[in-house]
Amino acid sequence: MSRHDHAFDVPVLGRMSPIKAAAKLRELGEEEAASALHLAAGDATRLRGFQWPFQNKPWQYTSHAFGYLAPNSTGNAPLPIKHAGNIEADASLKGARIRITLNRMRVAAYPGKGIHQILFDFYGQNQVPKNVEHLHFNATYRAQEGQEVGVIGYPIFVGLHVGAQGVAFECSTINVKNEDDEAFVRFLDSDVFKAGLRLVTTAQPAIGPFSAMALGLTKAIATRSRNVPVQRFIMGLDFSRTALSARLAEGDYIAVQIPDKKQSTWDWSEWTYNPVSGQIVNRADLKQLIPYNYIAFGVNRFEGD
């Protein structure tokens, strides 16, 4: 099967057509934003163009900034964050096995109000000898608007094989407001899912059906009423020296959902990790958090059996 057969292809809210996005926002109780978007869509039809009528909703963005935080030794000094393409790759990870963990998820703003239930889907490729296993892993979290999900070190892939060219990941979040689906996805809180997807040194026949089930669940929930994908990014980490790629090394990778106009001005040197509070904050003001949705996952060498 090709990579496309395993892709999560339901558009995030920021990539929906204006009319469809307005309808979805109305389902979620965002009446003011829905009305403004619907009106702008009508004007765009006449003017043969469209622009969002507002630019202050973190859930409307589709661009991302990718940062890297090096492994931390003990200490209280703030730690620098670099662009993920501005680091040295760790060549010793070629052919090695790694552990992927979810370390942070910030919900600066999702559509709807109050507590959000979030379905998290993480895709990766397990490059075992003479075979590539396509992996999907799901988990569900709850978070209050403007706060972080209560998660740290949550195992996703345990023992993932790194190929000679590196690894590739795709991550998606779905805001689940459908009451029936909220009840249904609670089974993802079981001990089986909390252990992460544990991989072995050879191909596993059960991995394909498990991953297909996880992807099917994500797609089904994402397309139902009152549910909507919010954040999605694709990230390849390699060993090259090309200027526009990102490198693979042990540490944390941070994907921040930012406005497109911020792409040219985003500067990771303005942000730092404060080990005292355990948060990513503004370097000049350690109480100021990043005002956008973001996900941070950790990469560590796997030393188990």
Q: Is the dihedral of CA 69, 275, 120, 160 positive or negative?
A: positive
Identify the band that residue 125 occupies on the pLDDT scale cut at 50, 70 and 90: confident
Average pLDDT over residues 185-209: 53
Structure tokens at 89: 């790759």
pLDDT tens digits, 100-119: 999 999 999 999 988 898 98
Identify the band that residue 83 occupies on the pLDDT scale cut at 50, 70 and 90: very high
Q: What are phi and psi for residue 266, nearest 5 degrees?
A: -65, 130
pLDDT tens digits, 257-273: 999 999 999 999 999 99
Average pLDDT over residues 169-181: 84
Provide the pLDDT for residue 51.
81
Contact at 8 Å (CB) between 142 and 195? no
pLDDT tens digits, 86-99: 999 999 999 999 99
Identify the band that residue 75 occupies on the pLDDT scale cut at 50, 70 and 90: confident
If you compute the radius of gyration of the chain from its CA atoms, what whole number of angstroms results?
20
Instruction: Tell me what percent of the residues of the chain surpass a pLDDT of 70.
Output: 83
Provide the pLDDT for residue 203.
40
Provide the pLDDT for residue 4.
47
Question: Distance between CA 289 and CA 133 in Å, rounded?
Answer: 37
Does residue 194 surpass a pLDDT of 80? Answer: no
In this prediction the pTM is 0.88
Q: Write the Ramachandran bin of 95: left for phi over 0, alpha for psi from -120 to 50, otherwise beta.
A: left
DSSP for 20-39 reads: HHHHHHHHTT-HHHHHHHHH
Strand duo 227-238 + 246-247: pairing = parallel
Q: Which residue has the tokens 């670099």?
A: 82
Residues found in the chain: 305
Provide the pLDDT for residue 185.
63
Contact at 8 Å (CB) between 257 and 64? yes
Adjacent-strand bridge partners of 125: 134
Provide the pLDDT for residue 200.
43
Q: Which of 299, 251, 293, 250 is nearest to 79 (CA)?
A: 251
pLDDT tens digits, 202-253: 445 455 566 666 777 777 788 888 899 999 999 999 999 999 999 999 999 9
Crossing angle of the two packed helices 18-27 and 31-47, in degrees rounded to 10: 170
Dihedral over alpha carbons 297, 12, 54, 296 (to 10 degrees)? 0
* Secondary structure (3-state) at 99: strand
